[in-house]
Amino acid sequence: MDTPGHADFSGEVERTLTLVDGVLLVVDAFDGPMPQTRFVLNKALRMGLRPVVVINKIDRPGARPIDVQNEVFSLFIELGATDAQMDYPVVFASAKKGIASLDPTKEGTDLIPLFDTIINHVPPPDVDETGPFLMQVTSFEYDSYLGQIALGKIVRGSVSSGETIARVVDGALVEKNKVKKILSFEGLKRVEVPKAKAGDIILIAVFEDLRIGDILSDVTELGSLPPIEIGEPTISLEFIVNNSPFCGQEGKFVTSRNLRDRLMKEIRTNVALRVEETDSPDA
C-alpha cells in the first residue's frame, strides 16, 4: 500500500500504517530524505514498525546513493529509532528499470534482492488465529448493491460469509448482522472469498452506519482494540457567508447548508478532519 508523504494527509498515513507489518522507506538517490520522508518515517517508527530502506533512482544522473544512505542513517537517529529499528537493510534500486541490488557498486538484474529482503526482514502478522473474530474498521468503500463496505485487517480469529458478527463502539455492543460478502486482495484485484482469517486485509459488507475505528467482533465474546490515533489537523479554515456580487454564479451546491452536509459526510470517513460549528449565523 502506498502512502502519501505530505503532512496534510496524516490521517491517511496513520490509518494505512495500522494495517501493515512492515514498510519500505523509499528515498531518492539524488534528492535524499525530504521533509515528507521525515514525516512518514516518524509515524512508522512510533508504531513500532521496522523499515526496509530502498534508495531508488540509482540510475539518475548525479545520483549519490552512499551519501543518501548516510543521511538516512542520521535521520533514524534524530527520530529516536530503537536498536532493532536501526538494524535496517538497505536496497539500491531503479524502479524504472525494475532492478535492485544490495551492493551500491553493482547494478542488479531484477527485483529479487528486494523481494528476498522483504521476506527475510518483515515479520509475520502479530495475530491470534485461534481466538474469536476481531478487526478494526480502517477505511470504507461504497457499493450500489452492497452499501457500505468496511476495510480492515483481521487481528484475531476468522470470519465467514453468512456469519453473524457484532459492531462494538467504546466497548459496547451496538448491533448485530450477517456478513453479506467478503473480498480479499490478489495484487490489485479484489476476489470474493467465503472465509478470511487473522492477518488478512479484507473488505467486508455487513453494517450500514460504520465509522472509522469501529470494532467488528465475534458475537459471543465482544472484543476491543486501541483507537486509531490521528494527529491534529495542520490547517484550519473558517467558512463565512459569501457577500460577493458574484455569489452563487458558479458551482452547483453553493449554500452553507450544502457545505455543512458535505463536511459532515466527509468526517465519517476522514478521521483527520475536525468540524466545529460556530455560534455566528454567518459562519
User: β-strands 172-178, 158-160: how paired?
Assistant: unpaired
- State the DSSP code for 247: T
**Per-residue pLDDT tens over the stretch 10-64:** 667 777 888 888 999 999 999 999 888 888 899 899 989 999 999 999 999 999 9
Give how far the C-alpha of residue 5 lies from the chain's centroid of Cα atoms, to the nearest Å.
Answer: 11
Strands 51-56 and 90-94: parallel
The predicted structure's pLDDT at residue 6: 56
CA distance 118 to 122: 5
pLDDT computed for residue 248 by the predictor: 65
Query: What pTM, to 2 d.p., does this model score?
Result: 0.75
Instruction: Count Cβ atoms below 10 Å from residue 180 Cβ, excluding itself.
Output: 16
Distance CA 69, CA 75 (A): 10
Please, what is the angle between helix 35-46 and helix 10-17, to 10°? 40
Query: What is the DSSP secondary structure assignment for residue 128, as one 8-state letter?
Result: B
What domains, with CATH codes, occur in the chain? 7-121 (3.40.50.300), 134-218 (2.40.30.10), 236-283 (3.30.70.870)
- Assigned C-alpha cell, 31: 534528492
Residue 237: what pLDDT? Answer: 80
Q: Would you state the pLDDT for residue 210?
A: 85
C-alpha cell at 153: 485487517
% helix / strand / coil in the chain, to the nearest 5?
A: 20, 30, 50
Q: Does the CA dihedral 26-32-35-41 come out positive or negative?
A: positive
Q: According to the model, what pLDDT value does residue 231 have? A: 65
In DSSP terms, 28 is beta-bridged to 32, 56
Secondary structure E strands in 51-130: 51-56, 90-94, 99-101
Cell readout for 256 is 452553507
Low pLDDT (below 50) residues in the chain: none
Using alpha carbons, list the distances in angstroms from residue 214 to 15, 55, 147, 281: 13, 37, 17, 34
For residue 219, how many C-alpha atoms fall within 13 Å in the half-sphere facing its CB?
9
Q: Within the chain, what is the greatest distance between any pair of CA atoms?
A: 67
Distances in whole angstroms, Cα of residue 265 to Cα of each of 209, 235, 274? 11, 19, 12
